[in-house]
Amino acid sequence: MGRSWRSTAASIQAIWAIMLVLGVLLISTRTTVEGRKARILESLEYSAISCRGHSASITDYGGVGDGKASNTKAFQNAVNDLSQYGSHGGALLIVPAGKWLTGSFNLTSHFTLFLHKDAVLLASQDINEWPVIDPLPSYGRGRDAVGGRYISFIFGTNLTDVVITGDNGTIDGQGALWWQLFHKKKLKYTRPYLIEILHSDNIQISNLTLMNSPAWTVHPVYSRSPDGNKNVSKCSNIIVQGLTILAPVTSPNTDGINPDSCTGTRIQDCYIVSGDDCVAVKSGWDEYGIAYGMPTKQLVIRRLTCISPYSATIALGSEMSGGIQDVRAEDIVAINTESGVRIKTGVGRGGYVKDIYVRGMSLHTMKWAFWITGNYGNHPDTHYDPKAVPAIQNINYMNVVAENVSMAARLEGISGDPFTGICISNATIGLAKKAKKVPWTCTDIEGKTSGVTPPPCGLLPDQGPEKIGMCNFPPESLPIDAVELKKCSYTATKHI
Ligand SMILES: *[C@@H]1O[C@H](CO)[C@@H](O)[C@H](O)[C@H]1NC(C)=O
Ligand SMILES: *[C@@H]1O[C@H](CO)[C@@H](O)[C@H](O)[C@H]1NC(C)=O
Ligand SMILES: *[C@@H]1O[C@H](CO)[C@@H](O)[C@H](O)[C@H]1NC(C)=O
Ligand SMILES: *[C@@H]1O[C@H](CO)[C@@H](O)[C@H](O)[C@H]1NC(C)=O
Ligand SMILES: *[C@@H]1O[C@H](CO)[C@@H](O)[C@H](O)[C@H]1NC(C)=O
Ligand SMILES: *[C@@H]1O[C@H](CO)[C@@H](O)[C@H](O)[C@H]1NC(C)=O
Ligand SMILES: *[C@@H]1O[C@H](CO)[C@@H](O)[C@H](O)[C@H]1NC(C)=O
């Protein structure tokens, strides 16, 4: 029995009423032509950077949501087929309630993948369903092993206008298999990521639960400007919002969201529990990252809640060789997490981390409220340049409240390469009962503080309480904040 899905989808802010009328006409027209009645099965509304003209269900491509049948071909065929609508209004692929086991599949431009709230995509446990692709040029090799890497579960490259969203549907990477191979040192190639999108612009990943990634969970990398230039001057519009990301806190390298060599990224309203950094901002590794030379810039992170006992709430680095500049983090909550907004770098990295603005952090049960590391090792090979030292400048933290913290701060620059312009103001760090005796340790850094307790180290002289508002946070907003989502709607009908 063929089920047929029909849809009405469009930007509707002003023409909602017209759309309703059209929808009714469409249904009644079909009733007359085919002499059958059409019943509305489902209708949904969602917010997206673009709405779509065409829609289909994975069941139209032979998908079976029983958790056992392989849907790899169904997803690959669906995307291939729907790519034909790219220049005709784009396409929406709906995944209904059910458990959909599948191998990796690629995305296409002008495309939306929508997961019903009870839809679960389950990543295949058959390693043959994970083709090996080239390492990222800015890393020179895979992170787990020299050479190539297994393709990500959901993968896209050289795309524009892609939405992965849902009514809080789930993508489960079933990563335990990969974590075991990693621990047993039996990986031939680097583990897959859950979602990776390369060389693309206008990307939205929203309103989903992402769990148990084999390694990093969301990895936008080499975002390009819409004119295709690698030297991104325009905002490339990467939007990540409303995600719940879950992985066991002991699972290896299950970072939450890793913007990597991207300009113009907005991460907001995300809740992340993970075995590694909740957000890790990156831009390539040592000599490979320096040569590729593509920074991460204009990144906004707001309303993030993080639980990560062995890692950072937000890490800048450790791979930062293409540079990281203009990161604005606001309203950050961390619970039982190792550190707050941490910088990780070292000799050989080169690059820079500059113009970092953090405003409003609420930290509960932490090892360090502030942690900056200038001796992070971990090189891709022995060919890194020992003269390539990073420039760390203009790092601002304000309005921080922390409780049950073992040590207020551990701030370590590089000898002969001090980290400068560190500003901390209005920060109240409540120490744990078993706190370290010395709450601050500072070496090779320069900066200032105001309104900070417990009293900071001598390298960050107190400017007095009247300077409590002195650290910077730019008043003007970034272009990425001007991107608005449209209301899209979709109606499925069934002939009866
Ligand atoms: C995500 O869900 C929330 C709550 O249901 C809704 O308000 C919001 O518009 C959705 N956002 C996106 C980007 O779909
Ligand atoms: C997905 O894209 C990658 C990289 O371009 C390619 O190697 C792979 O064959 C593609 N997979 C499919 C199923 O088309
Ligand atoms: C994707 O874009 C990158 C950067 O512009 C380019 O080097 C590469 O050749 C493109 N790949 C494909 C498959 O078009
Ligand atoms: C989405 O689902 C997750 C996992 O079940 C849940 O923890 C979270 O609260 C849900 N989010 C929303 C916005 O409903
Ligand atoms: C990138 O663009 C900026 C601004 O247009 C320019 O100043 C800079 O020299 C360019 N860098 C490269 C490597 O082309
Ligand atoms: C200091 O930080 C707290 C907590 O974020 C905030 O409520 C308060 O308004 C800040 N005070 C000043 C003077 O900015
Ligand atoms: C304080 O932190 C310790 C770990 O350092 C933890 O065991 C304890 O439960 C925390 N106490 C509170 C009140 O959160």
State which of 118, 168, 243 you would mutate to test the pocket of ligand 4, scoring each by most atoms of that ligand within 8 A of its C-beta.
168
How far from 187 is each of 142, 145, 177, 191, CA to CA, in Å? 11, 7, 11, 8
104 CA: nearest ligand 2 atom = 13
Confirm if 122 and 99 have CB atoms less than 8 A apart. Answer: yes
β-partners of residue 490 are 44
Q: Does 29 reside within a domain? A: no
| Residue 179 backbone phi and psi in degrees, to 5 | -65, -40
**Is any ligand 7 atom within 6 A of the Cβ of residue 336?**
no
Confirm if 107 and 75 have CB atoms less than 8 A apart. Answer: no
CB neighbours of residue 56 within 10 Å? 18
Q: Which ligand is nearest to the CA of 154?
A: 2
Distance 232 CA to ligand 5 centre (A): 9
pLDDT in tens, the chain (496 residues): 333 333 433 343 433 433 333 333 344 334 434 445 667 677 889 999 999 999 999 999 999 999 999 999 999 999 999 999 999 999 999 999 999 999 999 999 999 999 999 999 999 999 999 999 999 999 999 999 999 999 999 999 999 999 999 999 999 999 999 999 999 999 999 999 999 999 999 999 999 999 999 999 999 999 976 655 555 555 699 999 999 999 999 999 999 999 999 999 999 999 999 999 999 999 999 999 999 999 999 999 999 999 999 999 999 999 999 999 999 999 999 999 999 999 999 999 999 999 999 999 999 999 999 999 999 999 999 999 999 999 999 999 999 999 999 999 999 999 999 999 999 999 999 999 999 899 999 999 999 999 999 999 999 999 999 999 999 999 999 999 999 999 999 987 766 6
Which among 263, 261, 259, 293 has a CA at the least distance from the CA of 278?
259
Q: Does 44 reside within a domain? A: no
Confirm if 291 and 352 have CB atoms less than 8 A apart. Answer: no
State which of 73, 128, 151, 157 you would mutate to test the pocket of ligand 2, scoring each by most atoms of that ligand within 8 A of its C-beta.
151
Global pTM reads 0.91
Confirm if 394 and 434 have CB atoms less than 8 A apart. Answer: no
| Residue 110, pLDDT score | 98
CB neighbours of residue 428 within 10 Å? 14
- Residue whose CA lies nearest to ligand 1 atom number 12: 47
Q: Does 315 reside within a domain? A: yes
Q: Does 63 reside within a domain? A: yes
**Residue 229 belongs to what domain range?**
58-478
Give the burial class of 438: count Cβ atoms within 10 A of its Cβ; 0-12 exposed, 13-18 middle, 19 or more buried.
exposed
Which among 496, 487, 459, 495 has a CA at the least distance from the CA of 8?
487
Contacts of 249 (CB under 8 A, 6+ apart): 273, 274, 275, 307, 308, 309, 310
Distance 82 CA to ligand 2 centre (A): 16
Q: Does 211 reside within a domain? A: yes
Confirm if 296 and 264 have CB atoms less than 8 A apart. Answer: no
Q: Which ligand is nearest to the CA of 231?
A: 5
Q: Where are the beta strands (DSSP E) in 374-390?
A: none
What positions carry a catalytic annotation?
276
Confirm if 351 and 392 have CB atoms less than 8 A apart. Answer: no
Contacts of 383 (CB under 8 A, 6+ apart): 287
**Is any ligand 4 atom within 6 A of the Cβ of residue 241?**
no
Q: Where are the beta strands (DSSP E) in 103-150?
A: 105-106, 111-115, 119-123, 132-133, 149-150
Distance 106 CA to ligand 2 centre (A): 6
CA angle 47, 48, 54 (to 5 degrees): 105
Which CATH number characterizes residue 275's domain? 2.160.20.10
Q: Does 43 reside within a domain? A: no
Q: What is the C-alpha to C-alpha distance for residues 272 and 287, in angstroms, rounded to an integer?
A: 31
Distance 339 CA to ligand 4 centre (A): 25
Q: Does 124 reside within a domain? A: yes
* DSSP, res 260: B
- Residue whose CA lies nearest to ligand 1 atom number 2: 207
Q: What is the C-alpha to C-alpha distance for residues 427 and 469, in angstroms, rounded to an integer?
A: 11
State which of 92, 207, 237, 485 you would mutate to test the pocket of ligand 1, scoring each by most atoms of that ligand within 8 A of its C-beta.
207
Confirm if 494 and 1 have CB atoms less than 8 A apart. Answer: no
- Residue whose CA lies nearest to ligand 2 atom number 5: 157
Question: Residue 49, Cα to own-chain centre: how many angstroms?
Answer: 17
Map tokens 């909550």 to a residue.
333
| Residue 248, pLDDT score | 98
| Residue 44, pLDDT score | 87
Q: Which ligand is nearest to the CA of 241?
A: 1
**Is any ligand 6 atom within 6 A of the Cβ of residue 333?**
no
Number of domains the chain contains: 1
Distance 336 CA to ligand 1 centre (A): 28
Q: What is the C-alpha to C-alpha distance for residues 146 and 131, in angstroms, rounded to an integer?
A: 16
Q: Does 432 reside within a domain? A: yes
Give me 52's structure tokens: 């779509």
Confirm if 327 and 283 have CB atoms less than 8 A apart. Answer: no
**Is any ligand 4 atom within 6 A of the Cβ of residue 168?**
yes
Q: What is the C-alpha to C-alpha distance for residues 305 and 327, in angstroms, rounded to an integer?
A: 17
Contacts of 368 (CB under 8 A, 6+ apart): 338, 339, 340, 342, 405, 406, 407, 408, 409, 410
- Residue whose CA lies nearest to ligand 2 atom number 1: 106
Map tokens 């612009």 to a residue.
201
Give me 167's structure tokens: 């009514």
Q: What is the C-alpha to C-alpha distance for residues 494 and 202, in angstroms, rounded to an integer?
A: 33
Give me 106's structure tokens: 């690629």
Residue type, 338: E
| Residue 227, pLDDT score | 59
Confirm if 178 and 212 have CB atoms less than 8 A apart. Answer: no
207 CA: nearest ligand 1 atom = 1
Confirm if 379 and 348 have CB atoms less than 8 A apart. Answer: yes
| Residue 234, pLDDT score | 58
State which of 244, 246, 273 you would mutate to test the pocket of ligand 4, scoring each by most atoms of that ligand within 8 A of its C-beta.
244
| Residue 211 backbone phi and psi in degrees, to 5 | -130, 155
